[in-house]
Amino acid sequence: MIWKQLLSIMIQHWRFVTTSQSSGISTIFPMPMLLQSVLWTQMLEMENSALRFRQSCGSMLMPKGGLHFVVPNVEGSMAERGAHVFSCGYQNSTRFWFPCVDSYSELCTWKLEYTVDAAMVAVSNGDLVETVYTHDMRKKTFHYMLTIPTAASNISLAIGPFEILVDPYMHEVTHFCLPQLLPLLKHTTSYLHEVFEFYEEILTCRYPYSCFKTVFIDEAYVEVAAYASMSIFSTNLLHSAMIIDETPLTRRCLAQALAQQFFGCFISRMSWSDEWVLKGISGYIYGLWMKKTFGVNEYRHWIKQELDQIVAYELKTGGVLLHPIFGGGKEKDNPASHLHFSIKHPHTLSWEYYTMFQCKAHLVMRLIENRISMEFMLQVFNKLLSLASTASSQKFQSHMWSQMLVSTSGFLKSISNVSGKDIQPLIKQWVDQSSVVKFYGSFAFNRKRNVLELEIKQDYTSPGTQKYVGPLKVTVQELDGSFNHTLQIEENSLKHDIPCHSKSRRNKKKKIPLMNGEEVDMDLSAMDADSPLLWIRIDPDMSVLRKVEFEQADFMWQYQLRYERDVVAQEEAILALEKFPTPASRLALTDILEQEQCFYRVRMMACFCLAKIANSMVSTWTGPPAMKSLFTRMFCCKSCPNIVKTNNFMNFQSYFLQKTMPVAMALLRDVHNLCPKEVLTFILDLIKYNDNRKNKFSDNYYRAELIDALANSVTPAVSVNNEVRTLDNLNPDVRLILEEITRFLNMEKLLPSYRHTITVSCLKAIRVLQKNGHVPSDPALFKSYAEYGHFVDIRIAALEAVVDYTKVDRSYEELQWLLTMVQNDPVPYVRHKILEMLTKNPPFTKNMESPLCNEALVDQLWKLMNSGTSHDWRLRCGAVDLYFTLFGLSRPSCLPLPELGLVLNLKEKKAVLNPTIIPESVANNQEPVISANNGQSMGFQSTEDDHPIKETATSISSHQQGVKRKADMPLGSPLEPGQILEKNEDSKVKLKIRFSNSQEEEEVDMDTVHDSQAFIYHHLNMLERPSTPGKEQSSGEINMHPVSATPLSIFSKESNSSKHSDHHHHHHHEHKKKKKKHKHKHKHKHKHDNKEKDKEPFGFSNSPASGRSIRSPSLSD
């Protein structure tokens, strides 16, 4: 065959091999692999606006996904226009732009050639060997060679008229940016070499590739994308030296990208379920970099933030599973039944879930570090890296390349080898199992015994929670010092007695030692005379993924805020103090605000807390509005306190505080629940007297926040019987605000600010004014700003306003406009973002009556998630999320009832009432019922849990009683199960078979079904997949062999006797209704949320998308 011939030529030229083949390459290679071998020559050329992509084995025009083309619509040649193209995608998406085995576990070496217009630069992986003109001298060919074995998924490409900057510190690092941005690029990347140094030092390992390239491109898919030896960044990360706020963010992105070079690109993963190791390690070392660069406070703050995020997400959705195990080939247990998507493949994950997944991964790495010490941790990393780099220099035949892939088991093994510690329980708790821990703590002090009686309860029944058993650190600050206690949390013990060290004493004036050895004077008058306890902290080191709700007296929180040096403790105290609006809290917060040694983020947080407290105590509040005098003292002129000093942002801490305080102040409300006039005037004065002429830094973020402050000060308009909002009845305060917004927005057109921060704030403020009824609600303005061609930040802000409008005004037109944009917008990020915003702020939800909820919308969304989006996983999963938010798992209430009342459940062998027709009133109930029946009751319900399966499963009639049928479809008397089949006199019935968990859906001619045992076998096999261990045995275990041999009649018979109802069902159709059926088929589908089937775009089970191709080492092991 021609393939063989080609291949042999290939191998002569240079080695092309993959890990799992040892002999007989040409015979074992599957088709795609051959293609991969053939396809090391790619030519890309630009012709008019269409970029043509040519390969030695064929050509393709404008791939829909995988590559993104940015072609500005201006005069000039492609290079002058700044047209560029880059590869993008989420997880393995390389196959979209050239045929390959798109798996992270299939490694090979690469030779890449790109022929491009002479004015363009092609940046790709590996070393640029040479650049050669074509014969007509109008094009250049870039030859790249990547000798380190790399998975196709880590191959990338960026072509454009880039400006080239060789890093002045490291000449093997090259930066690329779009024309005119070179000055920004110089500044932005001037820091990168320090990141390099840091990583190389802690990992005691040189950067694995011989070169590194950063490319900054427009319309980026994600801000940071790491590929072998190159990273693709959004061009919006570039900034000049005048920008403060963007600098740390951009540096973080750079550091993140570089961390992924080591773990993610150089070291790849065995299979999808090992992804957490890579994300975890890269996130963890990135965290170490943060600690070193931004300090421990920032690091701890970040950890706290990430922890809060993951905890909130898991409690909301029911858990994030890092290392899903899919019970071998059988896949009978679905570990993520609480989710509306499958976590079996990276491409079916909701984007939010994936973000949280990464977040949890690095937090778990930190937990491991806590356990085995950082030294060992770094040794493990070093070991992984050095094994990999030894392997990478080996020839393929030595079978060493698998060392470059990391697997969970391999990782754990090397941990135990290096540290000698057993971390299995930890792994079991956080990696093999989803969900987090929720503690409730309270205490009492027993004076007689001088003992602290601590009670720690756990909530492990709500979704997303698990039971924690093991050690838990508690820190008690007493008068005599700070003491750590390690409590053993066990099954039944709630109470823990902790002996106190100090007697309460009031008279002795003595300094009080803190945790860090510091000794401070405290005013102890506030505390309880009988108790020596100042404050108590549960799990201060965040060594459990948990949420702690701890009760202690307000003065204890105040002491904690003032004297505890840990920023996390301070933040917790601030949060707790919101519930104690007293003068003492006010004082504590003001003190913190003024204290310059205090971490600026804590001070910023204190601002908002102070505003809340002030609002709660509005009737007793004395003195000027909160923070006003403080702000005046810190930032205003001595001689004229109403005028702010000219800007000088040299001190970043006070800059951030100066930015935040007005925003928080604007949240103040007086007794009439209006923003005090004084505050508004104050903010307007800040705007008026703002003077940045002598400042070294740009004040665009500051001005933007002042507009945010104006928006915050807006309160709902007093509306007299729904009059139309006109200019005449405009509130005078609002008039002033509007005046400022207008001026700012117009000035932006003439003197645009960096990233148009001011426009963004103005748009948000206008939406606030609209929402509060001061200005007529109208999306036209936002729609014009949302058009393609505006800066992406502006577009997102405008779209957010439109989304909000859609919700508030229930406008079908705008919803359609948004959905059209989701389908047609040229920028993938914007498309994704619209869906995300719609999901976050949905126009209606599943339990809500809404005029927007109609059949067309259901169809539209259904279409969006099932066709046309196969090239963009993120978008499709976004559509799925939105669908779930709008309609839930049940049949959308706006759809007409299906014709068939009863369905046959193949799995349970019985007919049941079609669960899709249970109307909304029961819909709430329905979900749990289904999952209970399925034995998958993990996530959603706790109440239903104790229902004996029998009860829920028994009677169809009970279901039917709950059914309120729509008038036009009276069901009549309850059908006997089995009746349906009798009705089908004709044996040639079309059966629509639906399997809840596999989402397989096929029209089957029953004749063939009769004969085809294999068919039934196949489907039963699929049915097996979804259950959860534990619950499954009673209901689901199907003895497949007998069943597979059973003719259909048995189904009906069995269905009578079966005690288990299920929502697996068959739809019976008349032929004539078939057409209509098709439509319904669609609508049912969503109910069963697993999308395995449609997530496999190429429809073969060993698709690269699955992350576990047949020859994947994970299986061969």
**Considering only residues 622-641, where is the footprint of another protein by CB under 8 A?**
637, 639-640
Sort 834 into a burial class: Cβ within 10 Å, 0-12 / 13-18 / 19+: buried
Does position 738 interact with another protein (CB under 8 A)? The reply is yes
Q: Which residues pair with 1012 in a beta bridge?
A: none
Does position 187 interact with another protein (CB under 8 A)? The reply is yes
- Count other Cβ atoms within 10 Å, centred on residue 886: 23
- Count other Cβ atoms within 10 Å, centred on residue 293: 17
Closest distance of CB 53 from another protein, Å: 22
Rg of the chain taking only CA atoms, in angstroms? 32
Strand order in the sheet with 50-55: 42-47, 50-55, 58-61
- Candidates 30, 72, 1029, 1047; binder of another protein (CB under 8 A) is 72
- Candidates 194, 298, 678, 793; binder of another protein (CB under 8 A) is 793
For 314, the 3-state DSSP assignment is helix
- Candidates 61, 718, 727, 967; binder of another protein (CB under 8 A) is 727
Q: Which is nearer to another protein, 598 or 818 (CB)?
A: 818
Closest distance of CB 474 from another protein, Å: 48
For 889, the 3-state DSSP assignment is coil
Does position 12 interact with another protein (CB under 8 A)? The reply is no
Q: Distance between CA atoms of 725 and 729, rounded to whole angstroms?
A: 7
Closest distance of CB 145 from another protein, Å: 11
- Candidates 732, 789, 972, 1042; binder of another protein (CB under 8 A) is 789
Does position 791 interact with another protein (CB under 8 A)? The reply is yes
Does position 77 interact with another protein (CB under 8 A)? The reply is no
Q: Which is nearer to another protein, 755 or 1111 (CB)?
A: 755
Closest distance of CB 129 from another protein, Å: 7
Q: Which is nearer to another protein, 73 or 1039 (CB)?
A: 73
- Candidates 35, 44, 67, 184; binder of another protein (CB under 8 A) is 184
Query: Does an H or E element contain 762, and which?
Result: helix 757-771
* AA letter at 811: S
Q: By rule CB under 8 A, what string of x and - marks binding of each residue 79-108 to another protein?
A: ---x--------------------------
Closest distance of CB 690 from another protein, Å: 8
Closest distance of CB 660 from another protein, Å: 23
- Candidates 349, 534, 607, 792; binder of another protein (CB under 8 A) is 792
Query: Which residues contact residue 908 at a Cβ distance below 8 angstroms, ignoring those fewer than 6 apart?
Result: 1035, 1055, 1058, 1060, 1061, 1062, 1064
Q: By rule CB under 8 A, what string of x and - marks binding of each residue 685-704 to another protein?
A: ---xx-xxxxxx-x------
- Of 215-274, binders to another protein (CB under 8 A) are 218, 235-236, 238-242
Closest distance of CB 695 from another protein, Å: 7
Query: Which residues contact residue 472 at a Cβ distance below 8 angstroms, ignoring those fewer than 6 apart?
Result: 456, 486, 487, 488, 489, 538, 539, 544
Q: Distance between CA atoms of 576 and 572, rounded to whole angstroms?
A: 6
Does position 174 interact with another protein (CB under 8 A)? The reply is yes
Site size with another protein, rule: CB under 8 A: 87
Does position 813 interact with another protein (CB under 8 A)? The reply is no
CA angle 751, 757, 761 (to 5 degrees): 110
- Of 196-225, binders to another protein (CB under 8 A) are 211, 218
Q: By rule CB under 8 A, what string of x and - marks binding of each residue 908-947 to another protein?
A: ----------------------------------------
Query: Which residues contact residue 904 at a Cβ distance below 8 angstroms, ignoring those fewer than 6 apart?
Result: 910, 911, 980, 981, 991, 1051, 1052, 1055, 1065, 1066, 1068
Sort 210 into a burial class: Cβ within 10 Å, 0-12 / 13-18 / 19+: middle
Closest distance of CB 226 from another protein, Å: 20
Q: Which is nearer to another protein, 509 or 749 (CB)?
A: 749
- Of 128-167, binders to another protein (CB under 8 A) are 128-135, 137, 140, 164, 166
Are 491 and 342 within 8 A, CB to CB? no
For 107, what's the count of Cα atoms within 13 Å in the CB-facing half-sphere?
Answer: 34
Q: Which backbone phi and psi does 520 adopt, to 5 degrees?
A: -130, 155
Closest distance of CB 184 from another protein, Å: 6
Closest distance of CB 118 from another protein, Å: 8
Closest distance of CB 117 from another protein, Å: 12
Q: Which is nearer to another protein, 165 or 359 (CB)?
A: 165
* AA letter at 739: E
Does position 784 interact with another protein (CB under 8 A)? The reply is yes
Q: Distance between CA atoms of 53 and 1006, rounded to whole angstroms?
A: 47
Does position 749 interact with another protein (CB under 8 A)? The reply is yes
Q: Distance between CA atoms of 939 and 468, rounded to whole angstroms?
A: 18
Query: Does an H or E element contain 537, and which?
Result: strand 533-538
> Quick one: which of 54, 20, 35 has its CA closest to 101?
35
Q: Which is nearer to another protein, 755 or 907 (CB)?
A: 755
- Candidates 515, 766, 902, 906; binder of another protein (CB under 8 A) is 766
Are 45 and 69 within 8 A, CB to CB? no
Closest distance of CB 759 from another protein, Å: 9
- Candidates 63, 481, 752, 896; binder of another protein (CB under 8 A) is 752
